[in-house]
Amino acid sequence: MASVVVGIFPDHSAISQLTDSLRSNGLSLDKLEVISPETPSTDLIETGLQFTYAGDQDSVIGSGGGIITSGGGTSVPGLTSHNPTPRAFRDDTVERLLGDLEIPETRFDFYGTAIERGKTVAGYPSPGNVDKVKSLFTAAGANPVEVF
């Protein structure tokens, strides 16, 4: 059985604090999964976390880009730095995303309502580190913090 620590965060500054704490404790940020109705900052995306934007499709930043596209820009593929953008879900549902975090169906409404109210849900698989990761989530402002 998976051990995924899941928490509801008030905003992206709390997620930034969490990424700093995970990194300083030697934990990989590429395992952190975030579902949020807020458009993330570039700095947050560049940490390597897995971000899913659950807000209005029209307000995704950086959805265009590259040479001669609707986003404009002067980047040269393969020569300029990677410019990651948030993954906006189109075919996904909030329920599927929550299920990917091992959240049971009986808790979907609770977490889905939090996202609808502007909160951010984050999950981190932590077999062997559950207590450590739970304390980092709590210290960063997650409430509640649960393990599934």
Please enumerate in sequence order all residues whose Cβ is within 8 A of that of 40, keeping only pairs 6 or more positions apart, or say none: 12, 34, 51, 53, 86
> 117 lies in which domain range?
4-147
Q: Locate 76 and state its tokens.
A: 């040269």
Q: For the chain, how long is the longest CA-to-CA vector? A: 49
User: Strand pairing of 145-147 and 50-53?
Assistant: unpaired
pTM, to two decimals: 0.77
For the chain, the domain total comes to: 1
pLDDT tens track for 84-130: 544 444 335 889 999 999 999 999 999 999 999 999 999 999 988 99
